[in-house]
Structure 1
Amino acid sequence: MIAHDVYAETNPAWLSYVLVGFLRGFVEADPAGPELPLAYVCLPLCLSGDLASTFDGSNKKTGLREWIERSPQIQLELSDRLNGSMEMVTGAVRLACFSKTVRLEQGRLLPGPVALKADLAKGLSLELSGPVKRADRLGFWVAASGSTKTAFDILGLSL
């Protein structure tokens, strides 16, 4: 029997770690940093085990639109997934800001003065490194899409 530790997966420290992965991928493509609402969209997508396989065979060149076209099931009940994770994402953003690994300026998330290791996923098990790697990739795709509105449109969401 395998125990599934939901508390560990929703721990603000762990989620902050994944958030930093998303932020790193994003600022690689757009140094201005993501607008805060993107954290509420992207973190649940990266952390969802049922969506992990949708990242298989992709890389940073794949892009957000192609990823969605390859796996349209991502959009199924997406709003429910996002609404159900709002408190967890808020906790992650707060902890990341309090720990100074992330800063929030004019509605954008930016790297903070306290840096985490450059390769966040190195040395972690596949179960733990997967969300961090997916967050980095998704951050890059979202930044390359051009704007928060464009990313929301591609995902089938409205602001």
Structure 2
Amino acid sequence: MIVAHDVFSETNPAFCAYALVGFTEAFMTVNDDGPELPVAYLSLPVALSGDLRDSFERTNKNTGLLEWLERNPQIQIGLADRVNGSMGIVTDAIRFGCFSRVLQVDDRARLRLGPRKVKRSTIKALSEGLAQPLKRAERLGYWFAGAGSTKTIFDMMGLTV
């Protein structure tokens, strides 16, 4: 059996906005301030990367960013290129999320949940292949919030702000 991989569906603004909602929601359960925008630009390409999906196996929301990175040092290889290459996708996702009012950007450049809620039934109807990036985005939300500041997160990931 040949399995087709639909890259377009995983990079369209609506899908990516849903991933950012999950990321933001998880982040805000740990840190009510919400994630700063640069962290969104780091989280989405990592969550969407199919080649990193195995690194999330045997993890949960309590694993933590540092432990995950220690188990999987290969994550840092090419990470800057991955982030730079996905900037347009993340920007479109943030715009879509704000226009559809499921996300907001506050006056401190932090992502917040908007007044409209994402229907969980829509997400539950997704195939397992499409649901996994959303779950990874949520997990990163917990880990990034627990790691501390944006600078700390970028330092841990081997990037500079």
What TM-score does the superposition give when structure 2 sets the normalisation length?
Answer: 0.94
> What residue number does 2:21 align with?
20
Unaligned runs of 5+ in 2: none
Name the SS of the counterpart of 1:110 in structure 2.
strand
Letter in 2 for 1:58: T
Write the letter of the residue equivalent to 1:138.
L
How far is the alpha carbon of 1:10 from its aligned partner?
1.2
Cα separation, partners in 2 of 1:154 and 1:119, compared to 1, 3 Å: farther
Deviates more, 1:46-55 or 1:113-122: 113-122
Q: How many angstroms apart in 2 are the aligned matches of 1:62 and 1:120?
A: 28
In structure 2, the residue matched to 1:82 is 83
Between the aligned partners of 1:23 and 1:121, the Cα distance in structure 2 is: 16
Which residue is equivalent to 1:144?
A: 146
Post-superposition CA distance 1:77-120 (Å, at most 9, x none): 10000111000000000000111100000200000000113577
Residue 3 (structure 1) shift: 2.9
Counterpart CA distance in 1 for 2:45 and 2:121 is: 21
Q: Answer whether contact 1:21 1:120 (CA < 8 A) is retained.
A: no
Identical amino acids, percent of aligned pairs: 53
Equivalences for residues 1-150 of structure 1 within 5 A: 1-105=2-106, 106-117=108-119, 121-150=123-152
Match of 1:61, SS state, is coil
Look up the equivalent residue of 1:129 and give its one-letter code: A
**When the two structures are aligned, how many residues end up with a matched partner?**
159
Task: Mark the CA change 1:119 to 1:110 in structure 2 (over 3 Å): closer, same or farther.
Answer: farther
Specify the SS of the correspondent of 2:132.
helix
AA matched with 1:92: A
* Contact map agreement 1:100 1:113 (CA 8 A) in 2: yes
Q: Distance in 1 between matches of 2:121 and 2:145?
A: 20
